[in-house]
Amino acid sequence: MRVGLMADSHDRIPAIAEFVRIMQEGGVSMLLHAGDYCAPFALRPIEEASMSLAGVFGRNDGDTQGLLAKATAGFGAELFEGPHSFELGGQRILVVHDIGDVQPRSIEAHSIVLHGFTHQQEMKSRGDTLIVNPGESCGWLFGTPKAAILDLDDKTVEFLSLDPAHWTT
């Protein structure tokens, strides 16, 4: 099973929509998001694509009630206060915005940890735990929108980035 990974999308609708398109072409039907959507309208490209979503809130999600209302409006989305732990595709997954908010023992109790906050793409292992930050989907801080696709069957990650020349607005 392949799932999309995003974080720190910060309302950048064109980049969110492009990543959703790329992910769907890559066989992804579900998106995991590590927070900082910012406003409810940031969920629109995911909803329009009929993609399932599971995610947590970040520090810049100012309208959490609006995000919850949009998510529960019937397009297969669930948003939680982080950290959020669940099972998917035979893997125990932890989604959190800032990995610094999680105790090391909790990290090691999961096979996959998804986080955001730093806006930097990163993948590392701690024992048998794969820890992934897909990078900033918005591209506001570092100039290049980034995301990832995770294959749950073999725990491999394909990092995605959009050409910065096309994302100047």
- Going along the chain from its start, the domains and CATH numbers come out as 2-166 (3.60.21.10)
Q: How confident is the model at residue 168 (pLDDT cuts 50, 70, 90)?
A: low
Whole-number percent of the chain with pLDDT over 70: 97
pLDDT at 46: 95
Q: For the residues of 106-119, what is the DSSP string, one character each?
A: HHHTSSEEEE-SS-
* Average pLDDT value for residue range 90-111: 96
Euclidean distance between the first and final Cα of the chain, in Å? Answer: 33
Average pLDDT on 34-62 reads 94
Tokens at 123, concatenated: 């993948």
Q: Which residue has the tokens 């694509």?
A: 49
Half-sphere exposure (Cβ direction) of 130: Cα atoms closer than 13 Å: 16
User: How many angstroms separate the CA atoms of 19 and 60, rounded?
Assistant: 21
The answer to whether the CB of 82 falls within 8 A of the CB of 57 is yes
What's the count of helices (H) and strands (E) in the chain, helices before strands? 4, 11
For 50-98, the pLDDT digits (tens) are: 999 999 999 999 889 889 888 877 677 899 999 999 999 999 999 999 9
| Furthest-apart CA atoms within the chain: distance in Å | 42
